[in-house]
């Protein structure tokens, strides 16, 4: 947007922060082919990143930092050899540390989007690491062209982004700090709401036989929560389930 308006990125951040500019998400959805629709109904079939930010020493003096100062630089080319250790060394230990031990025997699914650098569901190195300590952690891909079925795209990243927009980072380190602070400021209540919205989108997808011809439902979650009637799970009519199971078997 800064490029299109021919202004500095810092100016855009300030205008968003003071309310002159308001972030807006495009609600246009991609067209789905029949194969995509079946993938939406069965996310565990096969389907067709986030930058890592290492630190490197500065090579030349500048007014901002001296030679040798450690500076954060994003990796420009992300590959499977980069995402694999990130999953094994960071994601898996975090899950084991926080997951209730009494429930560790049940399958835990880590959903990835369809970016090419992500490793496959049957990656042997990941599978070996994911089975340690009695856990059953598995990879799966989100259905293609279906951002509403990615809980991060659906609400979590948007909520993080709205908090991050209130900052005005000038470099990669400040951007990382702003994102991490925004993550820490996220309330569990907001996350619960996002997962309920995800469930409602799943039901709408099933009603549309795997399509995306629907609007994201508004559940009045805040009102239900005030009345102490906010559900943990949403009910899907058994007739809809049976209809889509028959479709998948065709």
Residue 53 token pair = 């930010």
Q: What percent of the chain has pLDDT over 90?
A: 25
Between 11-15, 43-47, 129-133, the lowest mean confidence (pLDDT) is in 43-47
Question: With 60 as the cut, is the pLDDT of residue 90 above it?
Answer: yes
Greater model confidence, 182 or 48: 182
| pLDDT mean over 107-130 | 92
Contact 75, 83 (CB under 8 A): no
The pLDDT-based confidence of 107 (bands split at 50, 70, 90) is very high
Residue 130 token pair = 């994911």
- Distance of alpha carbon 178 from alpha carbon 167, whole angstroms: 7
Residue 76 token pair = 């420009």
Contact 165, 13 (CB under 8 A): yes
The 8 Å CB, 24+ separation contacts for 167-176 are 167/13, 167/17, 168/10, 168/13, 168/14, 168/17, 169/13, 170/10, 171/72, 172/53, 172/71, 172/72, 172/73, 172/74, 173/71, 173/72, 176/53, 176/72
pLDDT at residue 49, rounded to an integer: 40
- The mean of the pLDDT values for the chain is 80
- Count CB atoms within 10 A of the CB of residue 24: 6
CA angle 13, 155, 187 (to 5 degrees): 85
The pLDDT-based confidence of 32 (bands split at 50, 70, 90) is low
pLDDT at residue 165, rounded to an integer: 67
Greater model confidence, 70 or 88: 88
Question: With 60 as the cut, is the pLDDT of residue 106 above it?
Answer: yes
| pLDDT mean over 144-164 | 76
The pLDDT-based confidence of 114 (bands split at 50, 70, 90) is confident
pLDDT at residue 44, rounded to an integer: 45
Greater model confidence, 130 or 164: 130
Q: What percent of the chain has pLDDT over 70?
A: 77
**Residues linked to residue 112 through DSSP beta bridges, in sequence order:** 141
């Amino acid at each position: 947007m800064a490029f299109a308006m021919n202004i500095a990125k810092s100016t855009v951040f300030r205008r968003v922060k003071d309310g002159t500019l308001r972030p807006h998400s495009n609600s246009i959805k991609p067209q789905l082919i029949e194969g995509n629709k079946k993938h939406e109904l069965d996310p565990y079939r096969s389907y067709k990143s986030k930058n890592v930010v290492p630190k490197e020493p500065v090579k030349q003096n500048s007014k901002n930092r001296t030679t040798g100062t450690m500076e954060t630089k994003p990796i420009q080319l992300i590959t499977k050899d980069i995402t694999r250790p990130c999953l094994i060394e960071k994601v898996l230990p975090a899950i084991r540390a926080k997951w209730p031990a009494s429930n560790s025997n049940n399958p835990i699914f880590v959903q990835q989007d369809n970016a090419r650098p992500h490793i496959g569901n049957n990656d042997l190195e990941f599978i070996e690491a994911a089975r340690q300590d009695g856990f059953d952690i598995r990879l799966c891909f989100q259905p293609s062209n279906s951002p509403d079925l990615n809980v991060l795209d659906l609400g979590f990243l948007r909520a993080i982004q709205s908090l991050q927009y209130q900052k005005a980072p000038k470099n990669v380190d400040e951007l990382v700090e702003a994102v991490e602070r925004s993550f820490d400021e996220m309330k569990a209540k907001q996350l619960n709401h996002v997962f309920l919205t995800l469930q409602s989108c799943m039901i709408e997808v099933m009603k549309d036989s795997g399509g995306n011809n629907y609007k994201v439902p508004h559940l009045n979650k805040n009102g239900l929560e005030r009345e102490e009637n906010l559900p943990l799970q949403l009910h899907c009519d058994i007739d809809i389930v049976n209809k889509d199971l028959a479709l998948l078997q065709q």
